Amino acid sequence: MNRYKYKSIDLYVDYKDMRDQSLLRYKNNWNINTPISSKLTKIQTETAFDGSSINLLFNQEKDSAIYNFDYYFNILFEKI
């Protein structure tokens, strides 16, 4: 892993209205078929000084009382 370093992350979030479906609150699902059009642009990352960990921070844009979401992400690395 020392030949690569973190470059960026693409996070996709597809909101599901729980009023229209029988979905559980706070039950968010990993879904590789999450649409590319649902890519979030308002995210923040925090990387440890030695590159050993990365924290991703984002705010859920829709009310969690009536929406849950499917999500998917791509982590991109570059060769050193």
What's the pLDDT score for residue 72? 93
What's the pLDDT score for residue 1? 53
Q: Which residue has the tokens 């000084």?
A: 49
Q: 10 Å Cβ neighbour count for 56?
A: 13
Q: What is the mean pLDDT of the chain?
A: 85
Whether the per-residue pLDDT at 45 is higher than 60: the answer is yes
The two structure tokens encoding residue 27: 């039950």
Paired with 72 in beta bridges are 12
CA gap 27, 74 in Å, rounded: 21
What's the pLDDT score for residue 55? 92
What's the pLDDT score for residue 9? 92
Summarize the confidence of residues 11-31 as an average pLDDT.
77
Provide the whole-model pTM.
Answer: 0.77
